[in-house]
């Protein structure tokens, strides 16, 4: 696939509309950069000889692919520099666990394979165009099949309430916002990367996301409008933002809800997941939304880093927690193509 965006060194190149967001990040940049590098060293220290990681779901292609995206998020490239080989190992791990039908899964997936598959498909799409020719050939084949797995899973007959979304199994006839968020990002990334993803598939997924939204209050839920709202409102917001619905009334209402409730996140069941999505969604909104959230996130979670460089991510362990925190911390650098923001759109309030 042809890469339509480029990954640059970890520096901020800001337009006027992004200056305020950049100012917030620059206040913490030195501490964040050091913390992220310590996180990388932790991840390298616990990687197993077979390419897997310890702790909960450490053999999962989803965990491995999140590690790969964390390296990319600070501007590191496959095959280049200090972490180039580490990124290549993450690519090879996903490719080695891709079935003939295109499912990227090694069996360590909890409730079902689609969660890990969606994350791994997103990772392969993000890294496509950055790798050597031999890996690119393999990525092209695997990613094409992986996207078809996601499209077929979306097309399984479902009730109107669940139509357009995804759940844990390729043949699931229901949907949840958490699994659907990763699937939608994979499709969006692949489409930006030149893959033939039908626009209707993106529209159906957006419509599903909006059905998880409480229009009176402003939060998104898991399988209704309320479940896990503290950790999933940012997910709904980011999905809509990345699909071109920038600063709509729904998104602004979600941003306001996060501003009013984000300090409850440390008590939420899926805290690190929620922080990752909040950071991505609030940065997309920009303006006061990113400024206020970042001014809380950086000092709070910088203090949570452990001596070994890790973050303890709720029940899924340190590898997961570390990768999610790195992805949240580095969003202003906009190194991952899927998270780049269209600077032609005003940042809002």
Name the pLDDT band for 20 (thresholds 50, 70, 90). Answer: low
Strand, coil or helix: 213: strand
**Predicted local distance difference test score (pLDDT) of residue 18:** 53
Phi, psi of 166 (to 5 degrees): -140, 160
With a cut of 50, say whether residue 345 has pLDDT above it. Answer: no
Which of 150-164, 294-308, 310-324 is least confident?
310-324
Q: What is the pTM of this model?
A: 0.92
Burial of 151 (0-12, 13-18, 19+ CB in 10 A): middle
C-alpha 176/C-alpha 289 separation (Å) is 26
334-343 residue pLDDT tens: 778 777 654 4
Token pair of 226 as six digits: 């309320």
Q: What's the mean pLDDT in 286-290?
A: 95
**Predicted local distance difference test score (pLDDT) of residue 24:** 80
25-46 residue pLDDT tens: 789 999 999 999 999 999 999 9
Q: Is the dihedral of CA 274, 276, 279, 283 positive or negative?
A: negative
Contacting residues for 240 by C-beta, under 8 A, at least 6 apart: 206, 209, 210, 248, 250, 251
**Predicted local distance difference test score (pLDDT) of residue 26:** 86
Chain position carrying tokens 């890990």: 116
HSE-CB of 228 using CA atoms within 13 angstroms: 19
**Predicted local distance difference test score (pLDDT) of residue 346:** 36
* 226 CA to centre of own chain: 22
Q: How many residues does the chain have?
A: 349
117-147 residue pLDDT tens: 999 999 999 999 999 999 999 999 999 999 9
**Predicted local distance difference test score (pLDDT) of residue 55:** 85
45-84 residue pLDDT tens: 999 999 999 988 889 999 999 999 999 999 999 999 999 9
With a cut of 90, say whether residue 349 has pLDDT above it. Answer: no
Burial of 266 (0-12, 13-18, 19+ CB in 10 A): middle
Residue of higher predicted confidence among 139 and 348: 139
Q: What's the mean pLDDT in 223-240?
A: 96
Q: Got the DSSP string for 79-137?
A: TSSTTHHHHHHHHHHHHHTB-TT--B--S--TT-THHHHHHHHHHHHHHTTSS-HHHHH
Residue of higher predicted confidence among 25 and 201: 201
Strand, coil or helix: 217: coil
Q: To the nearest whole number, what is the mean pLDDT of the chain? A: 90
With a cut of 70, say whether residue 92 has pLDDT above it. Answer: yes
Closest by CA position to 5, among listed 349, 259, 338: 338
With a cut of 70, say whether residue 5 has pLDDT above it. Answer: no
Specify the fold of 1-11+41-159.
Glutathione S-transferase Yfyf (Class Pi); Chain A, domain 2 (1.20.1050)
């Amino acid at each position: 696939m042809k890469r339509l965006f480029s990954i640059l060194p970890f520096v901020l190149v800001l337009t006027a509309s992004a200056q305020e967001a950049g100012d917030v990040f620059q206040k913490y940049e030195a501490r964040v950069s050091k913390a992220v590098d310590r996180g990388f060293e932790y991840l390298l220290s616990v990687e197993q000889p077979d390419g897997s990681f310890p702790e909960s779901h450490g053999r999962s292609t989803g965990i491995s692919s999140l590690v790969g995206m964390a390296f990319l998020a600070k501007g590191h490239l496959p095959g280049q520099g200090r972490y180039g080989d580490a990124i290549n190992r993450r690519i090879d791990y996903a490719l080695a666990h891709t079935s003939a039908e295109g499912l990227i899964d090694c069996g360590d997936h909890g409730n079902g394979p689609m969660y890990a598959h969606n994350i791994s498909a997103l990772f392969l799409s993000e890294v496509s165009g950055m790798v050597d020719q031999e890996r690119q050939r393999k990525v092209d084949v695997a990613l094409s099949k992986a996207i078809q797995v996601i499209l077929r899973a979306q097309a399984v007959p479902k009730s109107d309430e669940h139509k357009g979304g995804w759940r844990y199994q390729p043949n699931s006839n229901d949907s949840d916002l958490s699994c659907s968020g990763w699937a939608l990002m994979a499709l969006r990334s692949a489409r930006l990367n030149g893959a033939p993803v039908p626009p209707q598939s993106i529209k159906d997924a957006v419509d599903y996301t909006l059905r998880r939204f409480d229009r009176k209050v402003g939060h998104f839920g898991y399988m209704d409008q309320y479940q896990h709202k503290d950790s999933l409102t940012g997910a709904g917001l980011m999905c809509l933002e990345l699909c071109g619905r920038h600063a709509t009334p729904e998104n602004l209402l979600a941003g306001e809800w996060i501003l009013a409730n984000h300090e409850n996140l440390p008590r939420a069941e899926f805290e690190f997941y929620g922080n990752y999505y909040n950071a991505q969604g609030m940065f997309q909104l920009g303006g006061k939304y990113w400024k206020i959230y970042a001014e809380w996130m950086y000092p709070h979670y910088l203090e949570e880093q452990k001596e070994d460089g890790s973050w303890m991510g709720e029940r899924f362990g340190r590898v997961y927690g570390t990768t999610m925190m790195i992805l949240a911390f580095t969003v202003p650098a906009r190194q991952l193509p899927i998270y780049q923001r269209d600077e032609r759109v005003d940042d809002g309030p």
